[in-house]
Amino acid sequence: MVATVEYDSLEDELFVMVAAVRATEGDRSDLIMETMMGLQGRLTELWLYAAIDESTNKDARRRKAMVQKVMDLVDFQYKGASRLLEVMRMEVELSK
Question: What pLDDT digit, counting tens, does each position of 6-39 carry?
Answer: 667 889 999 999 999 999 999 999 999 999 999 9
Confidence of residue 60 (pLDDT cuts 50, 70, 90): confident
Helix/strand/coil (H/E/C) assignment for every residue in the chain: CCCCCCCCCHHHHHHHHHHHHHHCCCCCHHHHHHHHHHHHHHHHHHHHHHHHHCCCCCCHHHHHHHHHHHHHHHHHHHHHHHHHHHHHHHHHHHCC
Residues contacting 30, CB < 8 A, separation 6+: 81, 85
User: What pLDDT is attached to residue 45?
Assistant: 93
- Please tell me the pTM assigned to this model: 0.83
